[in-house]
C-alpha cells in the first residue's frame, strides 16, 4: 500500500462460505454498455458554482420503521440483518448491483430520490461521489461502534476523516494454479504471464475486470498501475492484446465457483476470497496453489455509506453501527469470507480453527506490496484495452 498503515483485519469462525455469496460482488468496471464511472459522474458534474453538498440527515432521533440497503450481491449475513430488526425494529430490504457503475448510474439518475438509504461503493469511487453530492455525511456521534474497527481500516486516502464512509470489507488479487500441470513454483505476476504462454496456454483465465487485467501488466513490471502515460498504456495494450490474449480461455471473476472445484482451468487470476472459496470447495485441495504475487498487487476496500436523500437516515446510521459490533463483524466475516475491518479478529479466527487464514490475513511485507487504484483520465483507455483483449482472446 502507499501512504497508509498496513491493514490487520480479522476473521472469526470456521464456517465454510456458500458459493452463491461470491457471484456478484467485486467487478469494479463491468460491461462497456454501462460505461466508466468517470462518465457517470461527469453526467452529474455541475455546470459551475459547485454541487450543493448534502448535510447529515440523522440527529439521534427515533428510528424510522424501514431501511433500504443497495449493495453487492449476498454481502451481508442474514443473521446480522434479522438481528438488527429484532433488536432495533426497522425492517430491512436489500437490493443488489453488480458494479460500482451500476450503483452510481442509479444514484445519478435519481438525483437524490433513489429511495435507497445505505450503499456500499468501493473506495476509489468515493471522492467523485462526494464531489457530485451523491453521498450524505455521516454523523459519527451515532456510530460509537467505530471503536471496534481496526485503526488501519479507517482514514483511507479516499475519505481520510471517514466523513462519508466506513470500511465494510477489503481484499486483494492474486492467482491460483494447478500443481499437477505447472510443476515449477510461480511467485510473481511475471511468472503468471510466462506460465500463461507456456504450460497453461489455452487453460488460463483472467478476471472479467479491466482493473485486474491491466493492473497485472503494471504489477508484473513494478510500475505505477495508475499511470496516465500514453506510451506506457500502449505498451500494456500491445502486450495484453498481442502476446497474452491468444492464450486466454476465459474471463472469469469467480473461478472459485466452478473452475477450481471442477478443474476446468490450469491458471486463474482471482480475488483472495474467491480463491479461498474454491480451495474450500475442491475435493483435491493439494492440487492447487494460491499465490499472492510480487512485486506488487492491488488492494480494494468496499465501504458503508449513506446515499444523499436517504429517506431513513436514523435507521441507516443504526444499521451501520450495529454492523460494527464485534458480534456482527464476526457473523459477516463468516458469511462473506473477506476481511471486515474489525480489531483483534485474527486471534479469534485461529482459536476457532478457521481454514486457509493465509488468504485472509497478510504479513506486513505482503501488505506493503499492495497498491490502491485511482480513477483518472486514462479510464476510458483502460476499458478499451480490456475490450480489445477480450476480442482477441483464444476463448
CA pair distance 239, 216, nearest whole angstrom: 11
Closest CA to 299 of 169, 188, 179: 169
User: Which helix (H) or strand (E) element contains residue 220?
Assistant: helix 210-220
Q: What is the DSSP letter of 16?
A: P
Phi, then psi, of 73 in degrees rounded to 5: -60, 130
Contact (CB, 8 A) for 109 and 44: no
Measured over all CA atoms, what is the biggest interatomic distance in the chain, rounded to whole angstroms? 63
Query: For every one of its 395 residues, what pLDDT tens digit does the chain have, with 9 covering 90 and above?
Result: 333 333 222 222 232 233 233 333 333 333 333 444 445 544 444 444 455 566 668 999 999 999 999 998 888 999 999 999 999 999 999 999 877 878 999 999 999 999 999 999 999 999 999 999 999 999 999 999 999 999 999 999 999 999 999 999 999 999 999 999 999 999 999 999 999 999 999 999 999 888 899 999 999 999 999 999 999 999 999 999 999 999 999 999 889 989 999 999 999 999 898 898 899 999 999 999 999 999 999 999 999 999 999 999 999 999 999 999 999 998 898 888 889 999 988 888 888 888 888 898 898 899 999 999 888 899 889 989 999 999 999 75
**Joined grid coordinates for residue 234:** 500502449
- For residue 271, what are the β-bridge partners? 173
- pLDDT on residue 51: 56
Angle, helices 78-88/326-336, rounded to nearest 10 degrees? 150
Contact (CB, 8 A) for 45 and 104: no
Topology annotation, domain 171-298+371-392: D-Maltodextrin-Binding Protein; domain 2 (3.40.190)
- pLDDT on residue 350: 81
Contact (CB, 8 A) for 262 and 198: no
Burial class, 61, CB count within 10 angstroms (exposed 0-12 / middle 13-18 / buried 19+): exposed
Of the CA atoms within 13 Å of residue 69, those in its CB half-sphere come to: 24
CA pair distance 10, 17, nearest whole angstrom: 16
Domain 20-170+301-341, what architecture? 3-Layer(aba) Sandwich (3.40)
Of the CA atoms within 13 Å of residue 67, those in its CB half-sphere come to: 23
- pLDDT on residue 30: 36
DSSP-assigned letters across all residues of 42-110:
HHT--SSS-PPPP-----S-PPPSEEEEEEETT-S-HHHHHHHHHHH--EEEEEEESBHHHHHHHHHHH
Contact partners, residue 388, CB within 8 Å, separation at least 6: 237, 241
Is the peptide bond prior to 345 cis by the omega test (within 30 degrees of 0)? Answer: no
Closest CA to 162 of 331, 312, 320, 327: 320
CA pair distance 267, 195, nearest whole angstrom: 8
Contact (CB, 8 A) for 169 and 334: no
Phi, then psi, of 17 in degrees rounded to 5: -60, 155
* CATH 3.40.190.10 in the chain, residue ranges: 20-170+301-341, 171-298+371-392
Contact (CB, 8 A) for 216 and 189: yes
pTM score: 0.78
Beta strands in the chain (DSSP E): 66-72, 91-97, 118-119, 135-136, 166-178, 204-206, 248-251, 267-271, 288-291, 297-307, 370-372
Q: What is the DSSP letter of 136?
A: E
Contact (CB, 8 A) for 380 and 235: no
Burial class, 87, CB count within 10 angstroms (exposed 0-12 / middle 13-18 / buried 19+): exposed
Amino acid at each position: 500500500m502507499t501512504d497508509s498503515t498496513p491493514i490487520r483485519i480479522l476473521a472469526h469462525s470456521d464456517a465454510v462460505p456458500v458459493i452463491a455469496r461470491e457471484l456478484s460482488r467485486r467487478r469494479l468496471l463491468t460491461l462497456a454498455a454501462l460505461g466508466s464511472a468517470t462518465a457517470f459522474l461527469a453526467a452529474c458534474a455541475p455546470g459551475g458554482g459547485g454541487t450543493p453538498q448534502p448535510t447529515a440527515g440523522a440527529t439521534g432521533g427515533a428510528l424510522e420503521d424501514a431501511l433500504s440497503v443497495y449493495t453487492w450481491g449476498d454481502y451481508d449475513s442474514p443473521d446480522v440483518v434479522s438481528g438488527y430488526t429484532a433488536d432495533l425494529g426497522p425492517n430491512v430490504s436489500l437490493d443488489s448491483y453488480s458494479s460500482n457503475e451500476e450503483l452510481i448510474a442509479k444514484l445519478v439518475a435519481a438525483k437524490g430520490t433513489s429511495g435507497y438509504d445505505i450503499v456500499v461503493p468501493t473506495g476509489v469511487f468515493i471522492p467523485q461521489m462526494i464531489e457530485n453530492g451523491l453521498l450524505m455525511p455521516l454523523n459519527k456521534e451515532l456510530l460509537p461502534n467505530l471503536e471496534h474497527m481496526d485503526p488501519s481500516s479507517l482514514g483511507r486516502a479516499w475519505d481520510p476523516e471517514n466523513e462519508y464512509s466506513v470500511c465494510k470489507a477489503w481484499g486483494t488479487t492474486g492467482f491460483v494454479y494447478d500443481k499437477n500441470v505447472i510443476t515449477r513454483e510461480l511467485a510473481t505476476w511475471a511468472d503468471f504471464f510466462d506460465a500463461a504462454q507456456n504450460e497453461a496456454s489455452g487453460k488460463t483465465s483472467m478476471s472479467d475486470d479491466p482493473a485486474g487485467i491491466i493492473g497485472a501488466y503494471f504489477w508484473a513490471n513494478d510500475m505505477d498501475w495508475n499511470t496516465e502515460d500514453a506510451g506506457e498504456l500502449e505498451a500494456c495494450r500491445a502486450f495484453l492484446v498481442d502476446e497474452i490474449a491468444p492464450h486466454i480461455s476465459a474471463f472469469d471473476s469467480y473461478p472459485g465457483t466452478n473452475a477450481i472445484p471442477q478443474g476446468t482451468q490450469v491458471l486463474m487470476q482471482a480475488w483472495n476470497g474467491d480463491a479461498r472459496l474454491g480451495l474450500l470447495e475442491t475435493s483435491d485441495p493439494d492440487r492447487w496453489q494460491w499465490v499472492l504475487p510480487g512485486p506488487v498487487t492491488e488492494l480494494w476496500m468496499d465501504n458503508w455509506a449513506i446515499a444523499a436523500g436517504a429517506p431513513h437516515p436514523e435507521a441507516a446510521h443504526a444499521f451501520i453501527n450495529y454492523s460494527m459490533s464485534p458480534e456482527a463483524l464476526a457473523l459477516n466475516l463468516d458469511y462473506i469470507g473477506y476481511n471486515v475491518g474489525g480489531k483483534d479478529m485474527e486471534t479469534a479466527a485461529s482459536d476457532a480453527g478457521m481454514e486457509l487464514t493465509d488468504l485472509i490475513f497478510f504479513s506486513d511485507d505482503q501488505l506493503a506490496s499492495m497498491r490502491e487504484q485511482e480513477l483518472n483520465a486514462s479510464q476510458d483507455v483502460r476499458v478499451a484495452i480490456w475490450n480489445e483483449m477480450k476480442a482477441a482472446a483464444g476463448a
